[in-house]
Amino acid sequence: MTVTSLAADLSELDRADPLARFRDRFHLRDGLIYLDGNSLGALPRATAARLQQVIADEWGEGLITSWLGAEWSTAPQRIGDKIARLLGADPGEIVATDSTSVNIFKALTAALSLRPGRSKILSEKTNFPTDVYMMQGIEAFSGGRVKAVAVDPAAVLDALDDDVAVLLLTQVHYKSGRVRDMAEVTRRAHAAGALAVWDLSHSAGAIEVDLNGAQADFAIGCGYKFLNGGPGAPAYLFAAARHQAATPVLSGWFGHARPFSFEDDYDPAAGITRFLCGTPPVLGLAALEAGVDLLLEADMGELRRKSLRLGDLFMERMEPLCDRHGFELASERDPALRGSQVAYAHPQAYQIVQALKEYDVVADFRAPDILRFGLTPLYLRHRDIAETVERLEQVCATRAWDKPQYHQRAAVT
């Protein structure tokens, strides 16, 4: 479908949209246009009822018997298996657990243990900061035996020398939305003797991912973005079946072969369970599961096609604003290289994002000068995109962004 025909009749496109029925499955305030589902996904209606049931029945009534009776104790594996269906992994290769940052530590240290003669963890500058911070923490903890190396994004493949144990990359860049070719990059890492760890925070639930098709070694990602798992939702960790003999460094009792034998020494469980650490956060997992269940009802191919269509429409409508108001496209046009977001650079990006809230549009700002618009095909309509650009035009035309309160940076952006 061409962009011109898109422009012709947006309401017709919304009527014909095979994903349109999902919008009502979310709680969304009337009038609000929410373009931040890549930072915190919207609330699925089913989540509140599900949490109420977990709190009142399973916790309130069942108390400690719910660890078995309500299957709390196997929730990390059960939800992991569901996430595996979204990511091209097999059952038993993913657990839902901990935060993404902690899972980065676990995946990197497991990968390092599988490449004992090598010392480098390689990544790219401009990666999401926590990824590189975790690498630097491992370097410090190792007393310098392990080296954290972050090079320019374009130089990553050339930096794969015979001392690189593990390559850590984010498949969809958090700012630009640029997509890395997971299969090809993993092949290059393997050719150099290294393992590949993929951060899927902006991929899962947004683009089609095929971890095993790409021969990925480890992967991690967030539960609160496109998976709609709620604020601070548990993250997930993928360890390819062939790597599950690695001994975890975070050797907690929930990863033990017999946690309730209370043995004196650590003996890791078989399979993916050894990548658990402590007691699972049951309430957070219940909310995450509701989000993942909803996503599993949708077809990922349809999701991806709609996401790209929304992005095409957005960029088309933004063209006059680029000329008139100085926005500069900071993401890729090529669908193969584009995640589920569109980004623009603008010197007043921060103020404009604040002023947009007055117009009931929520987008986000990423330092130093990026406006980021997350495209969530489950609950955005084509007409929301056109409306967003109209409201943005008003913000610029009236200089609504030029107010003293918008020149003060908030702590969370």
Instruction: Quote the Cα angle for 37-42-47, to 5°.
Output: 145
The reply to whether 47 sits near ligand PLP by the rule CB under 6 A is: no
Q: Which of 395, 95, 54, 82 is nearest to 273 (CA)?
A: 95
Residues 308-367 that bind ligand PLP (CB under 6 A): none
Encoded amino acid at 143, one letter: G
The reply to whether 99 sits near ligand PLP by the rule CB under 6 A is: yes
The reply to whether 100 sits near ligand PLP by the rule CB under 6 A is: yes
Identified binder of ligand PLP from the candidate list 222, 227, 313, 395, rule CB under 6 A: 222
Least separation in angstroms between residue 167's CB and ligand PLP is: 15
- Catalytic residues, by residue number, are 128, 199, 224-225, 372
Q: What are phi and psi of 189, to 5 degrees?
A: -65, -45
Q: Which residue has the tokens 């103020």?
A: 351
Half-sphere exposure of 7 (CA within 13 A, CB side): 10
Least separation in angstroms between residue 176's CB and ligand PLP is: 12
Identified binder of ligand PLP from the candidate list 53, 73, 74, 101, rule CB under 6 A: 101
Compute the Cα dihedral for 42, 46, 47, 48 and give only its sign. Answer: positive
The reply to whether 171 sits near ligand PLP by the rule CB under 6 A is: no
Stretch that binds ligand PLP, among 26-34, 198-206, 369-377, 400-408 (CB under 6 A): 198-206
Stretch that binds ligand PLP, among 11-19, 51-59, 124-132, 258-266 (CB under 6 A): 124-132
Terminal C-alpha separation, the chain:
35
User: 170 and 131 in contact (C-beta within 8 Å)?
Assistant: yes
Stretch that binds ligand PLP, among 15-23, 196-204, 273-281, 310-318 (CB under 6 A): 196-204
| Tokens describing residue 117 | 């003669």
**324 CB-contact burial (10 Å; exposed 0-12 / middle 13-18 / buried 19+):** exposed
Total number of residues binding ligand PLP (CB under 6 A)? 13
**Which residue, 147 or 366, is less far from ligand PLP as judged by CB?**
366
- Given the rule CB under 6 A, which residues bind ligand PLP? 99-101, 128, 130-131, 170, 174, 199, 201-202, 222, 235
